[in-house]
Amino acid sequence: MLDKFTFFSLDVIHMNANPHTSPLSDKSSHTAFRRYIFMTLMGIILMIGVVIAISTPSNSQTSRDQVYKDLSLFGEVFESIRENYVEPVDDTDLIHSAINGMLTSLDPHSSFLTAEDFDQMQERTRGEFGGLGIEITMEEGFVKVVSPIDDTPAARAGIISGDLIIGIDGQNVLGMTLREAVDLMRGEIGSEITVTIKRGENTPFDVTLERDVIKMRSVRYESYGHVGYIRITNFTEQTTPGLLSAMADLRGQHGKNLIGVVLDLRNNPGGLLSEAISVTDAFLEQGEIVSTRGRNDSSASRYFARAGDIAEGIPIVVLINSGSASASEIVAGALKDHERALIMGTRSFGKGSVQSVIPIGADAAMRITTARYYTPSGVSIQGTGITPDIIVELAIVENVDDGAFREEDLKGSLENQNASETDTDTDAGANTNQGANQGANQADNEADNSDEIAIRDYQLARAVDLLNGLRVFKGVLQ
């Protein structure tokens, strides 16, 4: 079926290589064009009929007849629009819209790509492009935010995963295609755009953003005490080199004192399948990473890890949320199934399909869903996502004075004769946490600042606590 549609699309685009942009006024030209359309469509029908006759069982005559009727109907509608629509319509735009409609009716991830669309897709996988910094999809006629990209106008403005964009600069999004919405959101660098956001049951509100060049830093990292933190924002050609560099630097900083790694995949919308496989492989010694299964058994593929764990077996916690999609879910699912990492956070997005880009003609392509992917345990996460081992909801952390009252606060309480050294250590620790210990060195202050940052991010704080707890527990067992 895919080959038939590809063949059909090629012929139609070629047919409109020299599009007519206005209605024909001359009767003879009109008649000639009708004959041209008729003969071209008949040629298409004949060629597709040959393909159908070869590939379809003989008892499917009714199905073949219906295809012929539908193709004839397409030709009639196309010609009728050219003749009767209130304004002149570009032939190529009509054909492209028809093809795109056919693809988008399949699922939210299949679409038609013009040369410009394809270039923009390549820009995203290379890691730099212009815009607002959000990954989006369509849901019930509105633009839905899959996830904002770190350090972009959208992230800085507070746009979050799950937000619905219902208006762009005062224009209602309902009825637009995803491509039309993207075109409205793109613009000159430094120019402003106002989007109307619907968040849950709350009243819609406007957010004004300034367009910027989106430089997608795929990997960033830091330390919280002796816990390494690696954030992967998306899977581009830069991801695996960035991960290897980050892990090598963390090893260089901490050596054997590195007690664990937090791999943060929250709000990571996915990206290149090859990079997801490569990142997973980096943490596994062996075993299946992911399998893909298409329409036919012959199209199934399986990908396996090679020996070599860059984390050298230390504990890993993977953070995910509803903005973790596609390639992120491949990584989380594989590490979970192999019990190489604990998954923490909230349920992921649930995109368990693979899209392929198939060239059409000289300057177009179609992105079409060609397979579903399965975790090593054989489970598809399509529509269900990855469920964390430990569910930690997003929360705001505040310091609360609990009115603590202890033995030493009692009047006349006995002194601990061995307390002088302990008290000194305790006081030093307290002063360091407040940034007021004059004897603390710069490294201590930097560590305390990191701890403060971790506390603000509740999910990250719980991941760091878990890894520190595992170290303590391991010491107790020994």
Interval 96-139: pLDDT, tens: 888 888 898 999 889 888 887 777 776 666 555 568 988 888 88
pLDDT of residue 24: 37
- Do 276 and 263 form a contact (C-beta atoms < 8 A)? no
Task: For 28-50, write each residue's pLDDT tens digit.
Answer: 544 554 554 455 445 444 445 54
Check: CB of residue 306 under 8 Å from CB of residue 293. Answer: no
Query: DSSP for 211-229?
Result: -EEEE---EEEEEETTEEE
Of 173, 386, 115, give the one whose Cα is nearest residue 270. Answer: 386
Measured between alpha carbons, how far is 139 from 187 in angstroms, rounded to an integer?
Answer: 24
Answer whether CATH 3.40.50.300 is correct for domain 128-215. no
Q: What is the mean pLDDT of residues 405-434?
A: 60
- Contacts of residue 461, defined as CB under 8 A and 6 or more positions apart, other chains included, come to 397, 454, 455
Q: What are the CA-CA distances from residue 135 to residues 144, 160, 180, 198, 465 (Å)? A: 9, 11, 15, 16, 31
Return the bridge partners of 228, or none.
223, 261
State the average pLDDT over residues 62-91: 86
Residues sharing a CB contact under 8 Å with residue 387, sequence separation 6 or more, in sequence order: 343, 347
How many residues are recorded in the chain? 478
Whether 82 contacts 93, CB under 8 Å? no
- The pLDDT of residue 276 is 96
Asked if pLDDT for residue 218 goes beyond 50, the answer is: yes
Which one is predicted more confidently, 180 or 309? Answer: 309
pLDDT at 345 over 70: yes
Exactly one of 351, 353, 448, 457 is catalytic; name it.
Answer: 351
SS3 label, residue 301: strand
Q: Looking at per-residue confidence, does 412 or 324 come out higher?
A: 324
Model confidence at 357, pLDDT cuts 50, 70, 90, reads: confident
pLDDT at 400 over 60: yes
Residue 13 has pLDDT above 80, yes or no: no
pLDDT of residue 415: 82
Residue 95 pLDDT class (50, 70, 90 cuts): confident
DSSP 170: T
Average pLDDT score over residue span 56-61: 56
Tokens of 478: 């020994």
pLDDT bracket for residue 471 (50, 70, 90): confident
Q: Which helix (H) or strand (E) holds 210?
A: strand 205-210
Asked if 260 and 224 count as a contact pair (C-beta separation under 8 A), the reply is no
Torsion of CA 246, 252, 256, 261, to 10 degrees: -20
**Contact in structure between 355 and 109 (CB atoms under 8 Å):** yes
In the set 161, 324, 326, 353, the catalytic residue is 326
Catalytic residue among 150, 163, 337, 448: 337
Computed on alpha carbons and rounded to an integer, the radius of gyration of the chain in Å comes to 29
User: Is 72 tagged catalytic?
Assistant: no
Binned at pLDDT 50, 70 and 90, residue 90 comes out as very high
Tokens linked to 7: 């063949």
Q: Is 206 a catalytic residue?
A: no
Q: What is the dihedral of CA 392, 352, 324, 198, to 10 degrees?
A: -100
> Mean pLDDT, to the nearest integer, of 258-282?
95
pLDDT band (50, 70, 90) for residue 440: very low
342-345 and 390-391 strand pairing? parallel
Phi, psi of 2 (to 5 degrees): -60, -45
Active site residue 351: yes
Whole-number percent of the chain with pLDDT over 70? 76
Euclidean distance between CA atoms 423 and 402, whole angstroms: 22
Please, are residues 356 and 372 in contact by the beta-carbon 8 Å criterion?
no
- Per the listing, tokens 């664990």 go with 260
Q: Where are the domains of the chain?
A: 2-104, 128-215, 219-391, 427-477
CA-to-CA distance for 324 and 291, rounded, in angstroms?
Answer: 19
Q: How far apart are CA 89 and CA 24, in angstroms?
A: 12
Residues 217, 246 contacting (CB under 8 angstroms): no
Question: What gap in Å lies between CA 125 and CA 128, rounded to an integer?
Answer: 8
CA 449 to each of CA 37, 223, 455: distance values in angstroms, whole numbers, following the listed order: 71, 11, 10
CA 370/CA 367 separation, integer angstroms: 9
Q: Given this model, what pLDDT does residue 404 score?
A: 78
pLDDT band at residue 242 using 50, 70 and 90 as cut-offs:
very high
The mean of the pLDDT values for the chain is: 79
DSSP-based three-state secondary structure for 310: coil
| Nearest alpha-carbon partner for 250 in 221, 281, 279, 284 | 221
Residue 136 C-alpha from the chain's centroid? 9
Residue 65 pLDDT exceeds 90: no
In this structure, are residues 366 and 353 in contact, taking their beta carbons and an 8 Å threshold? no
Angle at 141 between CA 187 and CA 106, to 5 degrees: 100
Confidence of residue 310 (pLDDT cuts 50, 70, 90): very high
Alpha carbon distance 280, 329 (integer Å): 11
CATH of domain 219-391: 3.90.226.10
Q: What is the DSSP letter of 259?
A: -
pLDDT given for residue 445 in this prediction? 40
What's 354-406 look like in SS3? EEEEEEECCCEEEEEEEEEEECCCCCECCCCCCCCCEECCCCCCCCCCCCCCC
pLDDT in tens, 156-166: 999 998 899 99
By the 8 A CB rule, do 95 and 16 touch? yes
Residue 60 confidence (pLDDT): 63
